[in-house]
Amino acid sequence: MDKPNTYRGGPNEHGHFGIYGGRYVAETLMPLILELERAYEAAKADPAFAAEMDGYFKTYVGRPSPLYFAERMTAEFGGARIYLKREDLNHTGAHKINNCVGQALLARRMGKRRIIAETGAGQHGVATATVCALFNLPCVVYMGQVDIERQAPNVFRMKMLGAEVRSVTSGSATLKDAMNEALRDWVANVEDTYYLIGTTAGPHPYPSMVRDFQSVIGEEVRGQMQNAEGRLPDALLACIGGGSNAMGLFHPFLDEPTVRIVAVEAAGEGIATGKHAASLTAGKPGVLHGNRTYLLQDADGQIKEAHSVSAGLDYPGIGPEHAWLHDVGRVEYVSITDAEAIAAFHQCTRLEGIIPALESAHALAHTVKLAASLGPDKLLVVNLSGRGDKDLDTIARLEGTTL
Amino acid sequence: MSGATRIERRFADLRAQGRAGLVTFLTAGDPDPAVSAAILKGLPAAGADLIELGMPFSDPMADGPAIQNSSLRALAAGMTLEKTLRLVADFRRGDDATPIILMGYFNPIHAFGVERFLAAARKAGVDGLIIVDLPPEEEGDLCLPARNAGLNFIYLTAPTTDDRRLPRVLENASGFVYYVSITGITGTASASAADIGGAIARLRRHTDLPVAVGFGIKTAAQAAEVAALADAAVVGSALINCLAENLDADGVAEPGLVKAVLSMVSDLAGGVASGRVRENAR
């Protein structure tokens, strides 16, 4: 594949990143997708929209999130200087809120009266329920029955915030099925409903819109690293399920040739066991949920269930821009098993006094490998995309205790 | 009409007879390949003028519970796209006139390979395709290659498809136009005759293609109402519910299943026939 002039030019006017992306939705939704695209383009061009979003970022989300030098981790791993981008310190405890503020403001601009969302770990559901409380919009969150069981604290939070959590029992009863059910709701409620997708996936313009709202992460890192070290980082690291925290960190650096970029998929119980969520490592291109991208699927094109200890990575697809960045070779995609992520979860907690989300722990697990391979003069930024309070039940269960 | 597809010939015949057609939807391989083949074989005699055959998919985003479950039953019974095509080929040995339209989602075809699929579909005797998640914006993937291969590509239009957008949707549509009469998933709400009438009139201002109406038609009386207005009425979820009612606790077909489904088809066909008679008598 030819090297493009820029890695930041996508998507094209059809919403394609190379052969990926697009608008693979039922005709009923197509006019809504086009309306959304027009509304987003108008908002993007309106300085008042950016100013409004900035205001909420500063005073409500708590941005900028710190870029923290992880001294003990750096000493322990013996290699690159490790910086953690503290998205876990955002209001609601993860990067998800950035996108929710942006999309809720857009929904309000569009005059939509009702918000729906899908959620896996519940982080996006909580963030959506939060902005809906803030903007006084009714909110319905679709969540797989399996995820409801393993993320009880987040379910309770959503309900307290006034959202209705609808349990999804179809299919594998996880994130992909929640997304199917949200799409079915949207088809039936086209007049007043805004579908607030939580990751850089779905039909155009969602992948690029969510990326834009999350790019505040990478933009901040650029300035913060300049202040701390006087130069660009040498490597970036983030976990990927759908890929929004990774894309938010990566996108502002894609055209910096000296910055090595690595994303970590969930290898679950191991790629060879088939029980994993590594779409790029072990999937192949296909079409699901509005976009062409890498998918976990069988030879007949039926979607396979993903598996990860981390509900937020438990999705059989990946954002289309990641699929493209994979094929053109700009970003390296690796995978980390449940066991490795859990070990990194404990290590980060004990070394830095930071309890990371199990999702982010996948990135931390690869930090050990990557930092050691880089010299001590190198700068490595890891996106600590969320905090781990929500995962305490899971960890306790694995250790045979109950809370 | 040399070179016309079975779909085009069938609608020309219906027009000549002054009646609307009944389009039935069932999922290929539901509840198992043998029973599915037996139903398929009996459909024309029971009164189905055109046959839509669902290609089972694990994630049918635009379908309600009836068709979702039907898809999952077929997959559990080992159905694949290859076997769906074999089902069509077997049907074709006994019926060379009834059009068969494969309906479903793009991914199984994507995995099969578009060119390979089109060749195999044509060879099996498939006449047209309805792919729910391929709007005209993505027509390069399958619509244009299908037309080149001599298959009709049928587009869905919805209440949300406004006058500004309709010409784009109809640009490469062929065979007929499928009007989705509600904003919603299959097998849920039903539209009023007045709404359907208005929508069809709007469609006819944009196209000479026959118009079939589907989503929410459950009874012979509703089929009659639609037949008075449209060129065909599509019934899916109601037939699948009838099929599901004739499964035992383990999901195995009861002895009377095929007969029950076909008798419902006859009922609906009667409704469709009566609809146009009433219209002609006005």
Average pLDDT, chain B: 95
On whether any CB of chain A is under 8 Å from the CB of B163, the answer is no
* Cβ <8 Å between A171 and B58: yes
pLDDT at position A70: 98
Nearest by Cα to B108 from B53, B157, B34: B53
Q: Is the pLDDT of residue B282 over 50?
A: no
* Contact B157/A at CB under 8 A: yes
pLDDT of the residue at B277: 61
| Mean of per-residue pLDDT scores for chain A | 96
Residues β-bridged to residue A260: A235
pLDDT at B56 over 90: yes
The answer, for A12 touching chain B at a CB cutoff of 8 Å, is no
Q: How much is the pTM?
A: 0.96
The whole-angstrom distance between B103's CA and the closest CA on chain A is 13
Strands B100-104 and B50-54, by their bridges, are parallel
Q: Is some CB atom of chain A closer than 8 A to the CB atom of B171?
A: no
Band of residue A312 on the pLDDT scale cut at 50, 70, 90: confident
Amino acid at A243: G
Q: What is the pLDDT of residue B1?
A: 43
Q: Is the minimum CB–CB distance between B172 and chain A shorter than 8 Å?
A: no
Is A172 annotated in the active site?
no
Q: How far is the CA of B62 from the CAs of A155, A158, A194, A290, B23, in angstroms?
A: 26, 27, 17, 12, 19
Q: What distance in Å separates residue B75's CA from the closest CA in chain A?
A: 9
Is A41 a catalytic site residue?
no
Measured CA distances, B184 to A182, A195, B69, B107 (Å): 12, 15, 17, 22
Confidence of residue A4 (pLDDT cuts 50, 70, 90): confident
User: Which one from A87, A118, A220, A359 is the annotated catalytic residue?
Assistant: A118
DSSP strands (E only) in chain B: 21-27, 50-54, 100-104, 128-131, 152-153, 155-157, 177-180, 211-214, 232-235
**DSSP designation for A357:** -
Residues on chain B touching A299 (C-beta within 8 angstroms): 111
Residue-level pLDDT at A120: 86
What 3-state DSSP class applies to B276?
A: helix
Find the mean pLDDT for residues B118-135. 98
Q: Please check the confidence at residue B2 and state whether its pLDDT lies above 70.
A: no
Q: Flag the least confident range among A146-155, B39-48, B51-60, B133-142.
A: A146-155
A31 contacts B161? CB cut-off 8 A: yes
Does B62 sit within 8 Å of A187, measured CB to CB?
yes
The answer to whether the Cβ–Cβ distance between B58 and A303 falls below 8 Å is yes
A2 pLDDT band, cuts 50/70/90, is low
Q: In chain B, whose CA is at the least distance from the CA of A25?
A: B133
- Closest chain B residue by Cα to residue A203: B133
Q: Stretch B148-171: mean pLDDT, rounded?
A: 96
Q: Mean pLDDT, to the nearest integer, of A139-156?
A: 91
Rounded average pLDDT over A23-28: 97
Q: What is the pLDDT of residue A403?
A: 79
Give the alpha-carbon dihedral of A391, A393, A396, A397, to 10 degrees: -120
Average pLDDT for B211-217: 95
When pLDDT is averaged across residues A226-249 and rounded to a whole number, the result is 97
Q: Could you tell me which chain A residue has the CA closest to the CA of B62?
A: A184
B198 touches chain A (CB under 8 A): no
Q: How big, in percent rounded to 5, are the helix, strand and coil portions of chain B?
A: 50, 15, 35
At residue A15, the pLDDT reads 98
A385 is catalytic: yes
pLDDT of residue B280: 52
Among A172-186, A222-236, A276-290, A351-365, the minimum mean pLDDT is found in A172-186
* Closest to A248 measured CA to CA, from A104, A381, A142: A381
Whether chain A has a CB inside 8 Å of the CB on B247: the answer is no
Query: What angle (nearest 5°) sits at the alpha carbon of residue A269, between those of residues A263 and A270?
Result: 60
pLDDT at residue B278 greater than cutoff 60: no
Is B29:B40 a contact under the CB 8 Å cutoff?
no
Is A187 in Cβ contact with B183 (below 8 Å)? yes
Report helix, strand or coil for A212.
helix
Q: What is the mean pLDDT of residues A182-187?
A: 95
Distance from CA of B22 to the nearest CA of A (A): 23
**Is pLDDT of A297 > 50?**
yes
Which of A154, A152, A178, A180 has the alpha carbon at shortest distance from A167? A178
Judged by DSSP in three states, A375 sits in coil
| pLDDT band with cut points at 50, 70 and 90 for residue A1 | low
pLDDT greater at residue A270 or residue A401: A270
Amino acid A359 reads: E
Say which of B59, B63, B188 has its CB closest to residue A176.
Answer: B59
Residues of A whose CB is below 8 A from B109 = 301
User: Do the chains contact at A26 and B112, CB–CB below 8 Å?
Assistant: no
Least confident span in A325-334, A350-359, A383-392, B182-191: B182-191
Least confident range of A20-24, A28-32, A312-316, B6-10: A312-316
Q: What is the pLDDT of residues A185-197, one digit of tens each?
A: 999 999 899 999 9
Least confident of A146-150, A331-335, B263-267: A146-150
Q: Which residue in the set B80, B109, B162 is minimally distant from A31, CB to CB? A: B162
pLDDT at B267 over 70: yes
Residue-wise pLDDT for A265-287, tens only, equals 999 999 999 999 999 999 999 99
The answer to whether the CB atoms of A31 and B75 lie below 8 A apart is: no
pLDDT of residue A152: 85
Whether the CB-CB separation of B44 and B21 falls below 8 Å is answered with no
Looking at the predicted structure, is the pLDDT value of residue B224 above 80? yes
- Interchain contact A30–B (C-beta under 8 A): yes
CB contact under 8 A, A27 and B188: no
B184 touches chain A (CB under 8 A): yes
Q: What percent of chain B has pLDDT over 90?
A: 93
Binary contact (A23, B184; C-beta < 8 A): no
Residue A216 identity: V
